[in-house]
Amino acid sequence: MEGSNKIDPATGEAEPAPGTRRNVLLARRADFWVSVVAIGIVLLQANMPYLQSLFVWGAVTDMTFTVEAGSSPSMRFPQSGPYDQRLGYVAIPSLIRRLAARDFEVERQARQSPALLDFIGAGGYATYHEKFQAGLLLNDRWGEPLDAEPYPSTAYQRFDQIPPILVNTLRFIEDRDLLDPEHPYRNPAVEWRRFALAAAGQMGGVLDRGLKHGGASTLATQIEKYRHSPEGRTENVVEKVRQMASATARAYLDGPETITAQRRIITTYLNSTPLASRLDYGEVVGFGDGMRAWFGIDLREANRALTEPATTPTALRWRARVYKDALGLLLAQRRPAFYLNAGRGDLELLADAYLPALARAGVISPLLRDAARKEPLQFAPWTPPAPAASFVERKAVDAVRTELMTALSLPDVNRLDRMDLSVDTTIDAAVQRRVAGLLQRLKDPKVDKSLGLVGEQLLDGADPSKVAWSVVLYERGEDRNLVRVHADSLEQPFDINSQAKLILGSTAKLRTLATYLGIVDSLYRELATCSAAELRQVIATTSDPLRLWAAKTLAAIPPERRALQPMLDAAMRRRYSASPAEEFFTGGGIHVFHNFERFEDFETPTVEQAFEQSINLAFVRLLRDIIRHYEAELGARNEVLTAPDSPLREKLLARFADKEGTVFLDRFYSEYSGLSASQSFDRLADKAGRSERRLIVMFRTTRPDDSLAQMRDFLARRIRDVPQDDLAGSMYTRYGADRFSLADRGYLAGVHPLELWLVAYLQTHPGASRAQVVAASAQQRQQAYAWLFRSSETRRQDVRIQSLVEQQAFDRLLQDWKLQGYPFNRLVPSFATAIGSSGDRPDALAALMGIIVNDGVKLPTSDVERIEFAAGTPYETDMAWRPQAPQRVMSEEVAATLRRALAGVVRGGTASMVRGVFAESDGRALSIGGKTGTGDNRFESFGPEHRLIESRPVDRTATFVFYLGDRLYGTVTAYVSGPQAGRYHFTSALAVTLLKALAPELRPLIVPTTGRAFVRGPGAPVARLASTG
């Protein structure tokens, strides 16, 4: 129950609850005397409403709260109650802890007055004006609403919006003394006569359970019950008194006169009464949502029908139907789960019984009474669907909601949407809408043509509606990166920017170049102080090509003239052949690579030129040097390839056997898992065909304890001529599992040794998990590759050792890329990684660009700045994000060198079409840099001499990762998935052209509007716009 625990808002820890368990007799006595006291209060105050109002108002006046900076030293949060749970008030202490773990801190929090703390501590529910609606509110960077999810979805905001006939019907059903102008000081929380009878029934029930009955609920106490009582129920007279006390305090919040409070009670009741649930809708709360969910009538339509006079028979029938449904809904609140489902017939009878009484009381006219009698309750067969929201329009919103769900550890989005939660995001709503709107229009070929997106290497006649576009844009702040635009054109929840793994082509050259320059930086710092003799020693002994170059370069420069930036500039001038004639051993096999343009095959560009023109073979060779550098650092390659007796060599071979054996085992497990022992045995035997020897080897390995007779029966089912007894007996003995190694038995059976072992294992361990299979097969994986350890297999050993050493080097490369923000945990161990084969993600590429823009320092990035719980309530808690300290990822010199290289791509390279498109506020051209990438992802099969047998398109991408000036950066991507990708021939030029087309939409971010500021007033729950003059 609320108030049973006191919460420290800074830690979220609960103090021990007071009290001990009592036996049933003591509890009954307590209930008895509470009821006696309550009746005494009734008798004393029933006829003195004015004195009561002054007394209660005086007590309630001190039950206040303010909102002040920092965490509150003492605060009580509710412990239960459907309303408090749904709006998230109960969970606020735990939510504070979760957000604190994500670098949020309490910036402001409510301070509950001593009187309010005492009232809650004594068992009352917090006294304040509760909200008609709540729900997730997202504000953009300027404080303008980005998204709002009010719950209930419809509500009366003022009493005068409610049709009088609805008010009077509710008064007639529930409390006819409400709104009586002759009793302005009346306590609306208690109807004294009903309470006295109910309390007497409760006292009798203490002595005799058969005498217990209820009936004291007013609208005010009903609200307290279904909002704040545990599970929305009144379990005993103590809970009833708690409801009455809380409702009384709430009624006198604004003064001794309660007519205004009574109007608020009616409005609150209509907005908040629980009305069961529908499978196609969920929980239904409030009259407005109830009319739509149960009867298919919009609240505005219902209000018109109940307010405007019915001047025609048709209008009268409609008014009668709406009134009958509204009456049924008001009556259903007594037992909503019954009356609105299985008890609809009973509800019909109850409504018809009320109509004459309502007419006699003058609430409705006889004409409406008679018309309503003819109208049955017309339940909707299903809830009318809400207008479908566009996923394209909501991409930024959904990204924030997903982040909030994760941060708050919420199980589903409905829980999030119904919380009393206001969030300030970094999104620029106006720019987001403009960008999303343009992306949606790109399905129209006429729009594409007008924007210059049609032509060679662009959209060349293929269906533009199949192209998915994405744009993500960030702004560098003082201590954080801010998401300004997060958009894509996919009309589905999937988010290209943050959820996809795409082949983004030559954008990987940016990561490769960053790693290369980082290595040069570290080599400079290691070798710059070496003497000429020391450098000559390095030159004579190293097998690392980059270390060799660095030593030679520094040896030619006097120590006093050595500097990092010239060294980096020299590294950018190094040349690599672009010839495709070479075959590369990488990724466990021989590979060849190709350039995009044929004329590039004959060039030997500098690293800078290769980056600007995106020349593939030069970067393949550059990555080879990087991998050789890491291999030399590992110190493994030379030792294991030149010393056949090296212990490390045998260790690497064992690791290879274990790794490759696990790959095969996974494949076989996928084939056999889910089969019974006999089914897996039969499937294996099917692979032997009619080979007598293979069948016998399989049988003796997988079922070693079965008899000769059982083997003959097995063979008889598989082959026509079963060996005679003597021969069969001989073969039974000859091919026993103990006669051959696992590798030899696999050879004799014509299957992989590990497949043979797995089927044998599943005979005695049916249903074994993958983890169990892997754990049980450690020794067998080594046995299956016994041939690899023979001294005669040196060449084959070397091939596999090279692959393992290369894998270790790629693991080192991955560590560097992870620092750059690479989102995945594995790189394809192939030089093709330099041209994109390992995949990437648009937002992760943008993260690297953010590091470069910020002089090599990685800033934390978020689209959420502030989270405010329960604004305007005694539980208000405002938390702000305080990001961790920035992390230096690369030196300023490396970042500056990368920026110049990126600028070269725009100045004279593959992104030159966007040169001069963006301008500063004074008209000067904005500095722009970026890297293009085209991903043509295909499943390809090759025959001898690298002859292509099959090429099946998987997807195609065009990407441009860029910076605009010294603040903005991001990515633009075009993407087509599936076999249809083969019909598209666009290159990265398409992404660059799209950025060019987006220039007008992005202008407000480049030249911010003056006179606009995000202002948060003291205690204000929602950000506002204000002019700064």
Q: How many CA atoms lie within 13 A of 433 on its CB side?
A: 7
pLDDT digits (tens, 9 = 90+) for 220-274: 999 999 999 999 998 888 899 899 999 999 999 999 999 999 999 999 999 999 9
Query: 178 Cβ partners below 8 Å, 6+ apart?
Result: 171, 188, 219, 262, 265, 266
The CA distance from 4 to 76, in Å, is 9
Confidence tier at 4 by pLDDT (50, 70, 90): very low
Number of residues written out for the chain: 1029
Beta strands in 35-135 (DSSP E): 65-69, 104-112
Q: Partners of 955 in the beta sheet?
A: 937, 977
| Nearest alpha carbon to residue 836 among 497, 503, 515, 614 | 503
3-state secondary structure (DSSP) of residue 801: helix
Per domain, the residue ranges of the chain are 510-641+825-845, 647-795
Query: 278 Cβ partners below 8 Å, 6+ apart?
Result: 284, 293, 294, 383
Backbone angles phi, psi at 675, to 5 degrees: -90, 150
| Nearest alpha carbon to residue 425 among 860, 99, 863 | 863
Calculate the alpha carbon distances from 16 to 284, 671, 738 in Å.
36, 56, 68
pLDDT digits (tens, 9 = 90+) for 364-406: 999 999 999 999 999 999 877 767 678 888 989 999 999 999 9
The CA distance from 716 to 1006, in Å, is 82
Instruction: Identify the burial level of 40 via C-beta atoms within 10 angstroms of its C-beta, where 0-12 means exposed, 13-18 middle and 19 or more buried.
Output: exposed
Beta strands in 894-1007 (DSSP E): 928-942, 948-964, 968-977
State which amino acid sits at residue 797: Q
Query: 40 Cβ partners below 8 Å, 6+ apart?
Result: none
Q: How many CA atoms lie within 13 A of 312 on its CB side?
A: 3
Q: Is the pLDDT of residue 285 over 90?
A: yes
- What's the whole-number mean pLDDT along residues 833-842? 95
Query: 500 Cβ partners below 8 Å, 6+ apart?
Result: 494, 841, 842, 975
- What's the whole-number mean pLDDT along residues 451-469? 93
Q: Is the pLDDT of residue 523 over 50?
A: yes
pLDDT digits (tens, 9 = 90+) for 634-652: 765 555 555 555 666 667 6
Between 590 and 909, residue with greater pLDDT: 909
Q: How many CB atoms lie within 10 A of CB 907?
A: 14
Q: Is the pLDDT of residue 506 over 60?
A: yes
Q: Partners of 975 in the beta sheet?
A: 468, 957
> Which of 303-317, 460-474, 579-593, 968-982 shows the lowest per-residue confidence on average (mean pLDDT)?
579-593
For residue 200, the model assigns a pLDDT of 53
Confidence tier at 24 by pLDDT (50, 70, 90): very low
For residue 726, the model assigns a pLDDT of 80
pLDDT digits (tens, 9 = 90+) for 341-369: 999 999 999 999 999 999 999 999 999 99
Between 930 and 36, residue with greater pLDDT: 930
* Token pair belonging to 861: 């990035």
Whether the Cβ atoms of residue 227 and residue 81 lie closer than 8 Å to each other: yes
For residue 1010, the model assigns a pLDDT of 55
> Which of 74-83, 180-189, 291-300 shows the lowest per-residue confidence on average (mean pLDDT)?
180-189
For residue 949, the model assigns a pLDDT of 62
Whether the Cβ atoms of residue 710 and residue 689 lie closer than 8 Å to each other: no
Between 88 and 767, residue with greater pLDDT: 88
Q: Is the pLDDT of residue 1008 over 80?
A: no
> CA angle at residue 254 from 264 to 88, to 5 degrees?
60
- What's the whole-number mean pLDDT along residues 909-915? 95
Between 169 and 1008, residue with greater pLDDT: 169
Confidence tier at 280 by pLDDT (50, 70, 90): confident
Backbone angles phi, psi at 462, to 5 degrees: -70, 160
> Which of 75-84, 551-560, 933-942 shows the lowest per-residue confidence on average (mean pLDDT)?
933-942
Q: Partners of 968 in the beta sheet?
A: 475, 964
The CA distance from 101 to 879, in Å, is 12
Q: Is the pLDDT of residue 335 over 60?
A: yes
pLDDT digits (tens, 9 = 90+) for 735-776: 988 889 898 998 899 999 999 999 999 999 988 999 999 999
For residue 922, the model assigns a pLDDT of 85
Q: Partners of 958 in the beta sheet?
A: 934, 974
- What's the whole-number mean pLDDT along residues 118-122? 92
Q: Is the pLDDT of residue 289 over 50?
A: yes
For residue 21, the model assigns a pLDDT of 41
For residue 794, the model assigns a pLDDT of 60
Instruction: Identify the burial level of 825 via C-beta atoms within 10 angstroms of its C-beta, where 0-12 means exposed, 13-18 middle and 19 or more buried.
Output: exposed
* Residue whose token pair is 């991408």: 957
- What's the whole-number mean pLDDT along residues 864-889? 96
Q: Is the pLDDT of residue 216 over 50?
A: yes
Confidence tier at 43 by pLDDT (50, 70, 90): very low
Q: Is the pLDDT of residue 938 over 80?
A: no
Confidence tier at 3 by pLDDT (50, 70, 90): very low
